[in-house]
Each structure stands twice: as structure tokens, then as C-alpha cells.
Amino acid sequence: MSASRLRVSEIFLSLQGEASRVGLPTVFIRLTGCPLRCGYCDTEYAFQGGEFLDLDTVVDRIRAHPTRHVTVTGGEPLAQAASLELMTRLCDLGLDVSLETSGALDIGSVDARVARVVDIKTPGSGEVERNRWENIELLSPRDEVKFVLVDEADYRWAKQIIQRHRLTERCPVLLSPAWSRLAATDLAEWILRDGPQVRMQLQLHKLLWQEARGR
């Protein structure tokens, strides 16, 4: 039995709402705690609370659901060291594991079998200074980079970052309008106008269930 523990906000089955796995039935394990305070955060309830669970219990709860797709999210999952062991154990079981991370912490120790979705924080998030730019050199084609945008200034900034770091040559790049902050049609028009080789994404789970927890 593993002695490692994680502080868990919730474990639930839903449809993946973002990135390349959008629409796939997925088990989400949301870990408690985050060192960032983004202005558009939609999971503030995960900053505190939760329950401490040993890894065996977490794995058992995940495997109880009828899907092989698992997303480790937060909060900020990498703020808990035991998240690394959890992801490796899930990969060892043959599960398709993805990680949603703010990009503020080192992704270098994440199991190479995990698809890392790294959220680069824009000026509009209020946390742009927390970006760990060293993570860009660690990205592989299996990973994805996401920008959540609150206005056209964020969009222009994201385009500069994409060009400066040649992000589209490293992995898929996603642009997403911040829920209730930026009209999706505006972002669509900017992308069509300028032609960046990116994927626009909407949050499927919010279109289906708005901001309900456990969805």
C-alpha cells in the first residue's frame, strides 16, 4: 500500500471539455490548492478544503469509472508532489492520462507518457509574471499549450508569444475565450482575420452544464 497521500477536491466522470480530447468520457481528479489567483478562475472552491486520500484509494475511485481517459487537474496539481506518483501509476495501468497545469511550476518531472496541457497566463489573467518560461523547452508534440484570453490585448500578446517561441512547431496551440469575459465570436473573427495556426476552443462542459460542479 502506498504511503503517499493527496488532498483531493473531487473525483468525477464527465466529458472532456477542452483540448484535443474534447468530448471523450473522462475521469477527472481535481486536486486541492493553487499558488495562483487568476482573475477568471472558475474553480476557486478547489483552493481550500478537500480530503486527504492515499494513492490506492484515489486509483480505486478512478478505476471504478468506465473509461480509460483520466485528467489530473486542480487547482494546480503539481503543487502536490504526490501527483507525479499518481500519474505514473495511472500510466502503468494503461490509462490515457492528461495533466492540466498552470505552467507556473516545473513540468520536467511529469511522466513522459502523460499529455501535458500547459496554460500560459496572459496579462489579463493577473498572473502573467508567474509563467515558467523554461517549460517551453520541455514541450513535446504530445503536449498542448493553452491561452485563456479576456480581450483583444490578450490575443495580441498571445500571438507574440506564439511567434517568439515558435510554439506551433512544438505542439498544438489552443486559444480560448474566458467564460463570460470575451465573446467567442470576437475571438473567432480575430483568428480568421490574422491566420495564426492555432485551434480555437470553447469549454464544452460549460456549454452543456454552465458552471455546475462535478461536470
Identify the pLDDT of residue 205: 78
pLDDT digits (tens, 9 = 90+) for 133-192: 999 999 999 999 999 999 999 999 999 999 999 999 999 999 999 988 999 999 999 999
Long-range contacts of 131-139 (CB under 8 A, 24+ apart): 131/103, 131/104, 132/103, 132/104, 132/105, 132/106, 133/165, 134/106, 135/103, 135/106, 135/107, 135/108, 136/165, 136/167, 136/170, 138/107, 138/108, 139/167, 139/170, 139/171
Identify the pLDDT of residue 166: 97
User: Against a cut of 0.75, is the pTM above it?
Assistant: yes
pLDDT digits (tens, 9 = 90+) for 61-118: 999 999 999 999 999 999 999 999 999 999 999 999 999 999 999 999 999 999 999 9
In CATH terms, the fold of domain 5-209 is TIM Barrel (3.20.20)
